[in-house]
Chain A
Amino acid sequence: IAGITQAPTSQILAAGRRMTLRCTQDMRHNAMYWYRQDLGLGLRLIHYSNTAGTTGKGEVPDGYSVSRANTDDFPLTLASAVPSQTSVYFCASSDGSSNNEQFFGPGTRLTVL
């Protein structure tokens, strides 16, 4: 692995189904983030984790949950998907340095029907 990986690349999901988007990084970064990106809108933060064992809510957390059991993995779960959760989801990480540059995974394109 080099950087951040996300799985699946894309998914079509029926409304009401549960779905977990996976994110793994091998850079030993402390902080990790989940964003959604919709046409005409900026990236919006869903949840974040500043370090393993801790999580926090971002701008649009409703309908999503996360866990951070270890440094490398930060899965995002949709408990009961709804069509408004159709979006491109990006996972990102940063090392907490002064500029706190975020490195992004390739994204997951999710369609909820």
Chain B
Amino acid sequence: GQNIDQPTEMTATEGAIVQINCTYQTSGFNGLFWYQQHAGEAPTFLSYNVLDGLEEKGRFSSFLSRSKGYSYLLLKELQMKDSASYLCAVRDKDYQLIWGAGTKLIIKP
């Protein structure tokens, strides 16, 4: 079967750095996505990785290792507005997205 694993919940302090991990086992691989979802709202796109390595976009970075079936999302200089769920999704051999259950990130002042 296909599986995406990520921690259920994490807590971090405003101004700090947090790393959210995602491991996957899927039928084929055609890219990995990270989305942000605030409570009661729709998911919004954060990043896309298809090759190994780090993609940086402002305060957010995403890393991919295809050989290890592993990705992480790194959030720097945390702000209260970063409190949200972060969803990892892998595009499989049929080009459909397989979603993890999401990691709820709680930011404390």
Stretch at the interface among A13-21, A60-68, A97-105: A97-105
What residues on A are CB-neighbors of B42 within 8 Å? 90, 104-107
- Interface secondary structure of A, over-half rule: loop
Q: What's the tally of chain B residues with a CB closer than 8 Å to chain A?
A: 21
Contact status of A102 and B45, CB under 8 A, knowing A42-B4, A42-B101, A45-B97:
yes
What residues on B are CB-neighbors of A100 within 8 Å? 31, 91, 95
Chain B CB within 8 A of A22 CB: no
A-B contact count (CB 8 A): 42
A90 to B87, CA, bound (A): 14
Q: How large is the interface on A (under 10, 10 to 19, 20 to 34, 35 or more residues)?
A: 10 to 19
Say whether B43 contacts A90, CB under 8 Å.
yes
10 A-B residue pairs with CB within 8 Å = A42-B87, A43-B43, A43-B87, A43-B89, A43-B97, A90-B43, A101-B48, A102-B45, A102-B97, A106-B41
Which residues of A does B touch, CB under 8 Å?
40-45, 48, 58, 90, 99-107
